[in-house]
Structure 1
Amino acid sequence: MIKYLGSKRALAGVLGALAEGSGARTAVDLFTGTTRVAQEFKRRGVQVTAVDLASYSEVLARCYIATDAATVDSAELGDLLAELNALPGRRGYVTETFCENARFFQPHNGRRIDAIRERLVNLADHPLYPVLLTALMEAADRVDNTTGQHMAYLKNWAPRSANELRLRAPVLLTGTGTAIRGDALQVASELAASDLVYLDPPYNQHRYFSYYHVWETLVRWDAPDHYGVACKREDARAEDNASAFNSRRRMPAALAALIGEVRAETVVVSYNDEAWVTPEQIVGWLRDAGHEAVELLAFESRRYIGSRIGIYNPLGKKVGRVTRTHNVEYVFVAGTADRVGAALAALAERDPAESGVR
Structure 2
Amino acid sequence: MAVAVKTNEYKTSLINNRRYLGNKYKLLPFITGVVNDECPDITSIADIFAGTGAVSSAFTDKVIITNDLMYSNYICNYAWFGAEEYDPQIIIECVVRYNSLTDLEDNYMTDNFADTYFSRDDCAKIGYIREDIEALYKKGDINTRERAILITSLLYAMDKIANTCGHYDAYRKGVEFDKALELYVPMANRQNNPNNQCFNTDSNDLVKNIEADLVYIDPPYNSRQYCDAYHLLENVARWEKPEVFGVARKMDRSTMKSKYCTQSATEAFEQLIGDIKAKYILLSYNNMAEKGNDRSNAKISDQDIMRILEKKGEVKVFSESYKAFTTGKSDIDDNQERLFLCRCFN
What TM-score, normalized by structure 2, do the two folds share? 0.83
**What is the CA deviation profile of residues 253-290 of structure 1, one whole-angstrom value per residue up to 9, with x for unaligned ones?**
1111111211111110011122122223212211101x
Give 1:229's aligned residue. Answer: 247
Equivalent-residue separation in structure 2 for 1:123 and 1:297 (angstroms): 47
- 2:182 pairs, out of 154, 163, 166, with 166
**Does the 8 A contact of 1:271 with 1:331 survive in 2?**
yes
Give 1:108's aligned residue. Answer: 121
Give 1:175's aligned residue. Answer: 192
Report the CA distance shift for 1:123/1:96 in structure 2 as closer, same or farther (over 3 A). Answer: same
Equivalent-residue separation in structure 2 for 1:91 and 1:166 (angstroms): 19
CA shift for structure 1 position 38: 1.3
1:315-326 counterparts in 2 under 5 A? 322-324=330-332
Report the CA distance shift for 1:326/1:133 in structure 2 as closer, same or farther (over 3 A). Answer: farther
Give 2:265's aligned residue. Answer: 251
Report the CA distance shift for 1:298/1:18 in structure 2 as closer, same or farther (over 3 A). Answer: closer
**What is the CA deviation profile of residues 315-351 of structure 1, one whole-angstrom value per residue up to 9, with x for unaligned ones?**
xxxxxxx5325622111111169xxxxxxxxxxxxxx
CA shift for structure 1 position 231: 0.7
- 2:207 pairs, out of 166, 188, 208, with 188
> Given the alignment of the two structures, is residue 279 of structure 1 paired with residue 302 of structure 2, yes or no?
yes
CA shift for structure 1 position 200: 0.6
Report the CA distance shift for 1:287/1:305 in structure 2 as closer, same or farther (over 3 A). Answer: closer
Aligned length: 309
1:1-358 counterparts in 2 under 5 A? 1-21=17-37, 22-23=39-40, 24-42=42-60, 45-67=61-83, 71-88=85-102, 89-100=104-115, 103-124=116-137, 125=140, 126-127=142-143, 128-155=146-173, 157=175, 161-173=177-189, 174-176=191-193, 177-191=196-210, 193-233=211-251, 235-236=252-253, 238=254, 240-248=255-263, 250-274=264-288, 275-289=298-312, 291=313, 293-306=314-327, 308=328, 310=329, 322-324=330-332, 327-335=335-343
**Does the 8 A contact of 1:26 with 1:48 survive in 2?**
yes
Q: Match of 1:332, SS?
A: strand
Range that drifts further, 32-41 or 73-82: 73-82
CA shift for structure 1 position 47: 0.8
CA shift for structure 1 position 109: 1.5
Equivalent-residue separation in structure 2 for 1:256 and 1:9 (angstroms): 27
**Does the 8 A contact of 1:147 with 1:305 survive in 2?**
no
Give 1:356's aligned residue. Answer: none
**Does the 8 A contact of 1:95 with 1:111 survive in 2?**
yes
Equivalent-residue separation in structure 1 for 2:341 and 2:235 (angstroms): 36
Instruction: Give the structure with the larger helix fraction.
Output: 1
Gap runs ≥5 in structure 1: 311-321, 338-358
User: Given residue 130 of structure 2, which amino acid in structure 1 is its aligned partner?
Assistant: R
User: Given residue 13 of structure 1, which amino acid in structure 2 is its aligned partner?
Assistant: P
**What is the CA deviation profile of residues 2-33 of structure 1, one whole-angstrom value per residue up to 9, with x for unaligned ones?**
21111112212322333344132101011111
User: Given residue 175 of structure 1, which amino acid in structure 2 is its aligned partner?
Assistant: N
Q: Match of 2:198, SS?
A: strand
Give 1:315's aligned residue. Answer: none
Q: Match of 1:271, SS?
A: strand
Give 1:342's aligned residue. Answer: none
User: Given residue 88 of structure 2, which amino acid in structure 1 is its aligned partner?
Assistant: S
User: Given residue 99 of structure 1, which amino acid in structure 2 is its aligned partner?
Assistant: A
What TM-score, normalized by structure 1, do the two folds share? 0.81
User: Given residue 37 of structure 1, which amino acid in structure 2 is its aligned partner?
Assistant: V
Gap runs ≥5 in structure 2: 1-16, 289-297
Q: Match of 1:194, SS?
A: coil
Percent of aligned pairs with the same amino acid: 25
Q: Match of 2:175, SS?
A: coil
Q: Match of 1:230, SS?
A: coil
Q: Match of 1:58, SS?
A: helix
Give 1:317's aligned residue. Answer: none
CA RMSD of aligned residues (A): 2.0
Equivalent-residue separation in structure 2 for 1:140 and 1:255 (angstroms): 33
Q: Which runs of 4+ in 1 moved over 4 A?
A: none
Equivalent-residue separation in structure 2 for 1:277 and 1:65 (angstroms): 30
User: Given residue 276 of structure 1, which amino acid in structure 2 is its aligned partner?
Assistant: K
CA shift for structure 1 position 73: 2.8
Q: Match of 1:299, SS?
A: strand
User: Given residue 78 of structure 1, which amino acid in structure 2 is its aligned partner?
Assistant: I
